[in-house]
Structure formats: structure tokens, C-alpha cells
Structure 1
Amino acid sequence: MTKLVYLCDWLPPDFGAVGQYAVMHCRDRAALGYEVTLVGLTSGQQASLTEETVGAGMVRTLRLPAPPLDRVSLGRRLAWTVRTNARLIARAWTYLSAADEILFTGSPPFLLHFLVPLNVLLRKRLIYRIADFHPECLIASRSTPSKVLDAALSLTIWLRRRVQLFEASGEDQVRLLRHYGIPASNIVLKRDPPPVELTGDEVPLPVPAELAGKKILLYSGNWGVAHDTDTFLDAYIRHHRAGSGTVGLWLNAIGAGADVVEQRLKDEGLPVARGRPVPFGDLGRLLVTPDAHLITLRDGFVAYVIPSKTYGCIASGRDVLYIGSPLSDVDLICRQGQRDGQLYIRADVGDAEAVFQALERLGTAPA
């Protein structure tokens, strides 16, 4: 039986798309006869170890308690990353030593920088499932160049070339890896499925009272540095000041972008409801609740990030508004997954007029 160790960050019931997909991927591997050890994080106070038989294989899940990530301070964020990566590897060492394959994700960042050097001793087959590209995301978030980050990127590319197999989430990521000199034979395209199976029997969640009578546009998950805010804000304000004003924004989200959008709209006196990501068990109900979903992505993050919410948004059958580049696989996923009667609209970042027209259209679309 092939032994696989899978390393990632936050595991359900904690919020984290990478962890949600990790559980699904591990069960798929186990069904093929693998013995899988999934090692990730929990916000709980105690470590836990569980085992489950799946098909011809099994999944062993080790959850390690960890403090929340400070997203405001870069220094504290890097310190958290180093401590967390070291602890994940230390606690998983027994399983890593006995494994045939080690699969790690881009979350937490920089596991690559630990595992490639250690693999001189471990001598395992390394599989890198790309979530977000680091340090590219940090470089893209800056307004000025950094020689230190450029050097870190050069080192990272060199380390990536020592990985035996990459699992890319999108074709844009495949193109980027090939640009970095990764052989095509070392890359497989493996998209994420929708985070939950939607049967059509889901009961929608209650709509926030402050949005009663509005067409609900939902932004769910994380709205952070990789996601555009200005284009949407300009268009939404115009939609309510000079347009039909029929759309109401529901922010079921975390992140600096969500904070900015909420505060700006409240200052403008415009309809906005703020919540937090729902428990995983309610995710299917949330996806079918709104009239439309909102996805945004800044151009500088194309290929570095594929918003995981895309799969669930398009699978919900609800309309989708995407503000971002057609070069991102977000556009490809939505166009290929679009269902009969489902409205999909894409607008460029910076094109507030196109987003305004999209909001007007969504506001009059059939329920």
C-alpha cells in the first residue's frame, strides 16, 4: 500500500479552502488504495488524531493547534509561517520518514523551502499542489520593487525545479510553471471540485434583514490583497446613486478588502450586510441563497491565485459577476461551467462602467 503524507494549513471545521479540498483529495487517494496521513492545523486547544477507512485505503488525520495568523503585520506573519512549518514537519516526521510520497500545498507558504532541503535525507517523491504562489503574491502586493524579494523568488524557482511533480489548479498556473522552466512531464492539471456537492435540495439561508427587497449579490470567503475593491465600489455606489439601486451586497467574508468595502459603503449609507464565513456544513445552503455571486481578482495576481470560491459559485447555478482578467482561469472555469439560464458577466479591473452595467443587468435578471 502506497503511503502518502499530505501537509496543509487549516482543516475543517476551521475556515480554509485549502484544507477543505485537502480532505476531499485525501479521501480520493485512499479510495485508490493509499494509506494517507493528513497533517494540518486546528484552532482548538488540543491536538487530535483520527483514522478512517475509505475504500481499499485509509485516511489518518492529525490536527495540530495553532494561533490565528496575523495578516496585518508582515513580520509577525513570516514568524508565524516559519514556526508553523517547522512544527508541522516536526510532528509529522515519523510519518514523513515512512512515506513513499509527500504532498504539500502552498498553504502555509514556504513549505517548499523546508521540504526540498530535508528531502536530501528523506529521499521521498515530492508532490507540490499549487494553491497560491509565494513569494510572487508578496511581490505583487508591493508598489515598489525589492531586491530581497527578487532574490527570494530566484531561490524559490531553483527549489521548485527539485520537485518531482506539480499539481496545478489551472491552465494559467501550468503556463507559469512552464515559464519557470518546469518540464511539462512534471506538471499535471488537477482542478478542485466544488467544495460541497449541491443536490438541488438545499434550503437557502435567511437573507440579512438589511437587504430585504434587494437582489442579493454575495461575496463569500476571503477578500484580501489579491482582490480588487475600487472597481466594484465605484460601480456599486453609482448603481445606487444614479442607477436602479436594486442590488444589495452581502459580505459573508473576512479580510482587509471586506473591511474596506463594508466601511466605505456604510459611510455612503448604502445597503451592505456583513457576516463571517459559515460553518462548512452550511456552505451548500449559502451558495444557493443569493441571486448572484461576486468574484474579484487584481491583474497582478493572475496565475498566482485562483479564487477557490469560483468552483462553488458557478456550481450553484446562481449568476456570477467576475471582475478580473480573462487570462485567469476564473474566466475559463466560469465559461466552461456555465449552466443553461445562468448569467455570467466578466468585466476588467478598472472598468467601473462595465461593472455598473452588470449590476443594472443583475438587478433586473429573473430570480
Structure 2
Amino acid sequence: MTSSSKTPSIILMYHFFYPDDVVSARHFTQLAEGLYYKGWKVRVLTTNRYCRYSHKLITPKRELHNGIEIIRVYRPPFNQANNYLRVLNSIYVLVAWSIRLLTMKRSDVIVVGTDPQFAALIFPFLRLFCRGKTLVHWCFDLYPEAIVADKKGKITYLAALIAKCFMYFSYKFVDIMVDIGSCMREILKKYNNKITYSTLVPWALVEPETIELPDQDTRTNLFGSDAKLTILYSGNMGKAHEFTRLITLARHLRDCSDDIVFCFACRGNRYEELVKEINEQDTNIRFAGFAKESELSKRLGCADIHLVSLKDEWAGIVVPSKFFGSIAVGKPIIFNGPENSAIGKWIIEHNVGWVLTDNNIQKIADKLIQLKEDSEQIKQYAQKAQQVYKTHFSQKSVIQQWDTLLRGKIK
């Protein structure tokens, strides 16, 4: 840990934290650890439930982990798949956090994430009882925008308008708004254009130093022994993701080059819908189960190209973290999503893949057929992708940006 005459202090507030292995919990845990080793006194206010296993309790209520003080408030085992219970859970957690904060020592900085839903509603309370402190909001997704994107209808629209009024009020108390992409920032600026904005992305959980050779057993298991070019979708297939163009691309290739093989290794509430779209003629499309973290590196490394998707209406509301994980291991991207989204812009700016649209499916299919016979060009794409990640998106780079940003804003 670095030394200084005055140790800056920070409180991180997020729904899930160590030992939970859900991706966002890992990011907050690694941010906490990174700031601790840069000389911060770090406390974390979280809950005592796992994200995917709400029936399981995390103990103890208070512990010291890698220099970080973790405080867990009790949270009822509400089913997060139920929208009404999820909102009730948010209210409960924010009230519990507010009560717990009243007994905690003040901190130079407080960072609040976007889980539970509408977590930003706690900012007026933080300003009232933590005067003079720097309040930061790290936005992984946006509510109520996500609710509107997911469900249409007059009732949903009316509820969103009401919720936006509350969010508009709460955002007035934020000092620094940290987004994870340019489209998200544009949405946030409609609420409050006068505060400090910064883009700090969620880095990849797997960051190899070099591009590793593919594990042949894993490659064969996912794609078969005859595949010459392998294309992988790994991760969640949820409400924000789209797969129609990806299937169309695969079918274009099937008819002229069936040794270019796609594998969807995923889970999520659209996974069954995806499976039903595939028929017996789709011989170049395969499926695999969700990977354990211990197997993730091998799986990500065995494909030549990765797939990332995002529905147009979700641009700026979420940013698929698969993008960062893919280029971290040196994989170029086929992005099935809007060109003007953050990922679309990064791919074009850094030349780390292709943005798939209705108008260029055949063009990208032709490019993939060319790459199948050009292993040297595939290696060049891989090296470029990993170098871009290390320069712009790595954990080391982003945590350094966090440290610089926060130290410059301490009141």
C-alpha cells in the first residue's frame, strides 16, 4: 500500500460483493482491493445474500477481507425475478443502508452502484447526512430506462415518467457520474448536465499477459474436429440481447463454407428462444453449457472470433461486458448491435472487429471465408485486440483512472 500524510477514505455501496462471483460483484470487489492498495481506507456496505442464490446467507455480518472492511445488512430472500419483489427489495435495502450509515464514520468519498434498482434514490439522504463528502454514482445500467426497454405499454410508460421524476431529483445530489460508455452518458446528461462525468468501464475478469494457444480438447468439444474458423458467443443471452442476425450470418456461411462453426455457450431468459430458432439444417451452429470460472479462460481462448449482441433499444442502458472479456484474451468481435452504441464506436475506432447490420451480412460472411484461409491475419487481429484492451480498458488502467479522479475531487 502506498503511504501518504492523510489516508483518503471511501465507502462503496453495492447490492452484491465478495464472496459472490456474479460479474458486477467481482468488479466492485476488485475496485475495492485496487483502491486499498493505492492507499485508500476502504469500507463496503452490501447485503448478506448471493445474487443467484437468494436463499443462501453470507456470513459474518462484518469482516475484514484483503484490508477491506465489509458490512452486510440483512436482506429478505425476495425473488429477484419478480419485478414487484425486486422493487420491494430495493426499498428495503436502501432503507437498511441508510439506517446503517447513521452509525458509520464519515468518509471522503461514497460510491453507489446501480444495484439494487433505483439505488440513486439514496443520494438525497447521503447529501443530508454526509455534508461535504464527494458522492459518486457508478452506472452499470439505467433505471427506469431498462424497464421501458423491456416492457412496452401505457402503464409502463406512466410508471417510468413518475420514476424519472424521482431520479431527476436524486441525480441533483451527485458530484461525479461515472458511466461505462458514450451512449449511457448522453442519457444521463438529460437528467443533469452540470456535474462531472467520467467513463470508467468494467474491465475483463480474465486478463492474460499474452495470447494463449487454444486448448485443442476444448475447441473440439465446442466446435467439432472439422472446424477451420470458430466463432463463440459466451455469456448471458438475456432481454437486452439479440440473435436473429447472428443466425442469418451462420446460415449464409453454412451454404458455402460449413467448416466455419458457431457455438452459443450461454444461459439467460432468451436462451430457450434461441434454441427453438435452430433447425436440423443448421449444422454449423452448436450449443454448450455455461462455463465455470475455472474453465472460462480455456473456453474464451479456444475460439478465433467472439460474438457480442445488443438490441437497438438497449443502447446506452447497458453495455455488454463480453466486449472487454473478449478483446482481453485477444479475440476480434462481431457485434450484433447499433453502430452508434459505445461498443460499435470502439470497434470501429480501434479496428477490433465488425459491426453486423442488416445491410452487411454478406460482406462479413465473405470476410470470414477469407479469414478461414488466412491464419496470419487472424493472429494480427488477435494481437491488435489485446493491445487495445491493455492500453484502454485493463483493470490496472481503469483503477488508476479511478484513483486519479477521486483524489482530485476530495472535498
TM-score range, shorter chain: 0.7 to 0.9
Q: Provide the residue aligned with 2:257 in structure 1.
A: 244
What is the CA-CA distance between 1:111 and the residue it aligns to? 0.9
Q: Provide the residue aligned with 1:74 in structure 2.
A: 83
Report if the CA contact (8 A) 1:228-1:349 is conserved.
Answer: no
Q: Provide the residue aligned with 1:276 in structure 2.
A: 290
Matched, 1:311 2:321: no
Within the candidate set 111, 125, 132, 1:103 is matched to: 111
What is the CA-CA distance between 1:198 and the residue it aligns to? 1.4
- Aligned positions of 1:52-71 closer than 5 A: 52=65, 58-62=67-71, 70-71=80-81
Q: Compared with structure 1, are the counterparts of its residues 351 and 337 closer, same or farther at alpha carbon in structure 2 (3 Å cutoff)?
A: closer
User: TM-score of the superposition, structure 1-length normalised?
Assistant: 0.82
What is the CA-CA distance between 1:127 and the residue it aligns to? 0.6
Aligned equivalents of 1:161, 1:220: Cα separation in 2: 38
Report if the CA contact (8 A) 2:43-2:69 is conserved.
Answer: yes
Aligned equivalents of 1:347, 1:235: Cα separation in 2: 9
What is the CA-CA distance between 1:331 and the residue it aligns to? 2.2
- Aligned positions of 1:351-362 closer than 5 A: 353=362, 356-357=365-366, 360=369
What is the CA-CA distance between 1:321 and the residue it aligns to? 0.4
What is the CA-CA distance between 1:306 and the residue it aligns to? 1.2
Aligned equivalents of 2:29, 2:374: Cα separation in 1: 37
Within the candidate set 319, 337, 356, 1:347 is matched to: 356
Aligned equivalents of 1:350, 1:155: Cα separation in 2: 41
Deviates more, 1:258-267 or 1:225-234: 258-267
Aligned equivalents of 2:187, 2:344: Cα separation in 1: 17
State percent identity of aligned pairs: 17
Aligned equivalents of 1:92, 1:248: Cα separation in 2: 53
Letter in 2 for 1:163: V
Report if the CA contact (8 A) 1:219-1:251 is conserved.
Answer: yes
Aligned equivalents of 2:71, 2:205: Cα separation in 1: 21
**What runs of 5+ residues in structure 1 fail to find an aligned partner?**
none
User: TM-score of the superposition, structure 2-length normalised?
Assistant: 0.74
Local SS of the residue matching 2:177: strand
Letter in 1 for 2:115: S
Q: Which protein has the bigger strand share?
A: 1
Q: Provide the residue aligned with 2:178 in structure 1.
A: 167
What is the CA-CA distance between 1:195 and the residue it aligns to? 2.6
Within the candidate set 107, 128, 134, 1:120 is matched to: 128
Within the candidate set 19, 26, 31, 2:32 is matched to: 26
Count of aligned positions: 354
Q: Provide the residue aligned with 1:301 in structure 2.
A: 314
Deviation sequence 1:156-211 (CA, Å, 0-9, x none): 1221122111112222233332233321x521222333333211265645236352
Deviates more, 1:106-115 or 1:38-47: 38-47
Report if the CA contact (8 A) 2:140-2:318 is conserved.
Answer: yes
Deviation sequence 1:299-328 (CA, Å, 0-9, x none): 111111111221121222122101111211
Local SS of the residue matching 2:288: strand
Report if the CA contact (8 A) 1:168-1:191 is conserved.
Answer: yes
Structure with greater Cα Rg:
2
Q: Compared with structure 1, are the counterparts of its residues 277 and 334 closer, same or farther at alpha carbon in structure 2 (3 Å cutoff)?
A: farther
**What runs of 5+ residues in structure 2 fail to find an aligned partner?**
1-6, 379-411
Within the candidate set 208, 229, 238, 1:198 is matched to: 208
Aligned equivalents of 2:275, 2:367: Cα separation in 1: 20
Local SS of the residue matching 2:162: helix
Within the candidate set 148, 162, 169, 2:159 is matched to: 148
Deviation sequence 1:192-235 (CA, Å, 0-9, x none): 33333211265645236352132332222222111112222233
Q: Compared with structure 1, are the counterparts of its residues 331 and 36 closer, same or farther at alpha carbon in structure 2 (3 Å cutoff)?
A: same
Q: Provide the residue aligned with 1:5 in structure 2.
A: 11
Local SS of the residue matching 1:235: helix
Local SS of the residue matching 2:15: strand
Q: Compared with structure 1, are the counterparts of its residues 235 and 197 closer, same or farther at alpha carbon in structure 2 (3 Å cutoff)?
A: closer
Local SS of the residue matching 2:262: strand
Local SS of the residue matching 1:194: coil
Q: Compared with structure 1, are the counterparts of its residues 92 and 238 closer, same or farther at alpha carbon in structure 2 (3 Å cutoff)?
A: farther
Report if the CA contact (8 A) 1:47-1:64 is conserved.
Answer: no
Q: Give RMSD over aligned pairs.
A: 3.1
Q: Provide the residue aligned with 1:134 in structure 2.
A: 143
Letter in 1 for 2:223: L
Deviation sequence 1:58-114 (CA, Å, 0-9, x none): 42234678758543x43343334444444555566644x533321011123211123
